[in-house]
Each structure stands twice: as C-alpha cells, then as structure tokens.
Amino acid sequence: RDSNCMAEALSDSGSANAPTIESVRESLIRQEDTIVFGLIERARFPINSPTYSASYAKIPGFTGSLAQFVAHETEALQAKAGRFTSPEENPFFPKDLPASLVPSQNHTGVLHPSAASININKSIWDFYFDKLLALFAVPGDDGNYAATAASDLVCLQALSRRIHYGKFVAEVKFKESPKEYEPAIRAKNRDALMKLLTVESVEEAVKKRVAKKAMVFGQEVTLNSTDGSNGKYKVDPSVLSRLYAEWVMPLTKLVQVEYLLRRLD
C-alpha cells in the first residue's frame, strides 16, 4: 500500500493498517507540500481586499463577503459529494451543510467518536485573513476576486486538514502510551497534556523543512540560468517557518489536547 496516501491507509479496516507515529508524521510532511503550493498559488494575486468586504459583495440572498460566499457554496457542493463524511475533513460553515448524496465510504473508527465535535476552523479563518495573508500577498488590486477567493479556500482547507490531523496524531500517541496520558486526562490538566505531546526537536525540523520547501518549490525555473532564483522566491521562506511556528503547530497541539481531553469519555 502506498504509505503516502494516509487517507486510504486510515480508512482501511483491520489493525494491520493502524496508523503509527511514523505514518501520521509522513502524512503531515506530505501535507506541507499542499500548503506551500497553495500559498504560492495565492501569492499570484495581490491582496484584492474587495474579496473580503461584505459591502462590496452585495450577493442576493447571502450576507457576507465574496470569500465567505465562495467558501460556503463550495463546501455545500463538496458536502453533497461526500467530502465531510471523512474524519479528516472539517467544514468552515458546518451549519446547514447539505447531506452527502454519494454511497457512504467505510471510514473505520480510528478516532474516538467525540473527535467529530472538535472544529477550530474559526481560529484558522481568523489568523489566515487577519494575520497571514498580508505576510505573503503583495498590496494591490487586480480585480481577480473570484479566483482569489477560490485560492484562499484551497489554502484554508489545506491548513484545516493539517491542523485537525492533530486528532490522529493524538490518537496514536495515546495508544502508544495510555498510562502516561490517562492521569493528565482524568485531571483535565491541559498543561500536562501539552508537555507530554510536545517534541521540540520535531518542531525545529518542521520549521526548517517548510522554509526549504518554499525555496525549492517557489524558485523561478529557467532553462539557462546559472544561479537559480537569485534568492527571490514566490513566497518568502521565513513566512513558512513563521506560519508553522506561530499558528500551524500551536493549533495542531491545541487539537491534540482537545482530543485527549475527550479520549476517555
């Protein structure tokens, strides 16, 4: 089985394919590629602020910005196609999502059932638009608002999938050493859980690797240059390490704590 394909590995039945710390970390590493490419695509456009303005959009029957409208309507379509029946996917607009219209997939229970109640997409939406966007999109307005909103949603969904993957990371960690986690879970001790699940050396490696991916994936590729990209990248590599250090890893850890707190329910 292709170990890169965690979605398939996770939906397999039988403990032979139960996730391990190696397999979940492999998935997190692969998801970095999606996130870096997503930001590179979004960086093709300037900020395009009308995309985020409710007063600009004035969409009949919808209150909100074009970014909200595109996310809401795209999720509705994806819900009908079965996207959110996967335990790896969490919607930004969970209210009134249409039901899946496709035959149900056999997602076997890797996670504790209470995992479904954890959704921190509001925090992801807020840091993305309020903090991150201005760090990698240049100021300006080129009128491509619909394409901008679509590429924001690609980034948001990739970040959401990565951050909520903390549920799987936490499950694996709990299964590997339940005796270490149980007392802190029973005591509802968030700080102790946070300490138990944190591995500084892994976090350092993640920050370095995502910056390196921004250099490799975001360089200008030409046929006859001697000197690659002259230090110019489509997304500043330091933005990637900052994104992971300030938001992605802290929120993944928050998801892990939330999951562990419910693990013995």
Ligand X SMILES: O=C(O)C(=O)C[C@]1(C(=O)O)C=C[C@@H](O)C=C1
- Residues making contact with ligand X (CB under 6 A): 25, 28, 169, 197-199, 202-203, 206, 249, 252-253
State the Cα–Cα distance between residues 262 and 185, nearest whole angstrom.
8
- Residue sitting closest to ligand X (CB): 252
**Nearer to ligand X among residue 29 and residue 47 (C-beta):** 29
Contacts for 164 with CB less than 8 Å, ≥ 6 apart: 88, 90, 118, 119, 120, 255
Nearer to ligand X among residue 198 and residue 238 (C-beta)? 198
Contact call for residues 165 and 116 (beta carbons, < 8 A): no
CB of 158 to ligand X, least distance (A): 14
3-state SS assignment for residue 59:
coil
Cβ of residue 35: shortest distance to ligand X, in angstroms? 12
157/92 Cα distance (integer angstroms): 9
Q: How far is the CB of 90 from ligand X (least distance, A)?
A: 16
Residue nearer to ligand X on the CB measure, 52 or 247: 247
Q: How far is the CB of 205 from ligand X (least distance, A)?
A: 9
Return the closest-CA partner of residue 246 out of 122, 69, 128: 128
- Residue whose CB is less far from ligand X, 38 or 67: 38
